[in-house]
Amino acid sequence: MKKKIYILDCGFGNIESVFNAISYLGHKPTVILDLNKIKFASHLILPGVGNFFKAAEKIKLLNIKAKIKDFVSNGGLVLGICLGMQLLFKYGEESGKSEGLDFFNYKCTSFNKVKKFNLPLPHIGFSKVTHPNTKIWKGIENPSDFYFVHSYIIGIDMLKKNNNPNIKFGLTEYFTKFISYIEHDRVFGAQFHPEKSQNNGLKFLNNFINYND
C-alpha cells in the first residue's frame, strides 16, 4: 500500500525533526496545517512540545477532534508524540482544565501532582521504556532508552481504572512510574520523542510506517 504520511503542524511543536526522520526512512511526508485533506493520508503524526491548554484551543478552533476520529475509523493510523500523545486523552490540567481528543478516557497531569516531592522538572533525557512488545516495537530491545522532555504525564493510576484489555501500555520511571506509551487499535501515543531517540526511535517510526504491511 502506498504510504501517505501527514504531519500536522498546529504551530505547537517542532515538526522539522519528525519530518527529517521520516524522510531519512525513505518517505516523503506532507506537512499540513489543518485536517481538510486528511482523507488522502494513510498515516497522521501529531508532534508537539508545548502547552496542553493552547493546543486544546487550537483543536477546537480547527475542529480536529471529529476529523481525526473519522480518519481512524476509516483505517488511518495516528501517532501522537509527546504533547501529541497527551492530546489523545480526555483532558489535560496544564494551565487549567482543557479538553483533549478523548481517544483514551484519562487525564494528563503534572508530575508533581502525582508525587509530591521536589522533582527536577522537566524530566529531560533518555529513559528506559518497558514496552508491550506489540508490532510497533518489533526489533527493539525491551526495555530500551528513548528521549523525553516533559513536565506533564499520564499517571500510572490509569492502569487501575482501565478495564479495556486491548489498550496496551509502555511504562517509564522517573522518580515515579508513568505511562510513556499507549496504543489501541490504530491509535498510538509516545510520551518520548522517537525522532530524537537515535536508532531505537528510527526503528519505532519505521514500524509505525510499515504497520499495515
Which listed residue (10, 82, 94, 183) is catalytic? 82
Q: Which residues contact 89 (CB under 8 A, 6 or more apart)?
A: 100, 101, 102, 103, 104, 105, 106, 107, 108, 154
Q: Which residues contact 163 (CB under 8 A, 6 or more apart)?
A: none
Under the binding rule (CB under 8 A), the answer on residue 145 touching other proteins is yes
Active-site residue flag, 108: no
Active-site residue flag, 43: no
Q: Three cell numbers at 11?
A: 504551530
Q: At what angle do helices 52-62 and 64-73 cross, to 10 degrees?
A: 80
Taking CB under 8 A as the criterion, which residues in 87-106 touch other proteins? Answer: none
Q: How many CB atoms lie within 10 A of CB 186?
A: 18
Q: Which residues contact 115 (CB under 8 A, 6 or more apart)?
A: 175, 176
Q: Which stretch binds other proteins (CB under 8 A): 10-18, 34-42, 102-110, 156-164?
A: 10-18
Under the binding rule (CB under 8 A), the answer on residue 142 touching other proteins is no
Q: Which stretch binds other proteins (CB under 8 A): 26-34, 69-77, 137-145, 183-191?
A: 137-145
Smallest distance from other proteins to CB 171, Å: 14
Under the binding rule (CB under 8 A), the answer on residue 126 touching other proteins is yes
Under the binding rule (CB under 8 A), the answer on residue 136 touching other proteins is no
Site string for other proteins, 32-71 (x = CB under 8 A): -----------------xxx--------------------
Under the binding rule (CB under 8 A), the answer on residue 147 touching other proteins is yes
Q: Which residues contact 126 (CB under 8 A, 6 or more apart)?
A: 145, 146, 147, 148, 197
Q: Which residues are catalytic?
A: 82, 193, 195
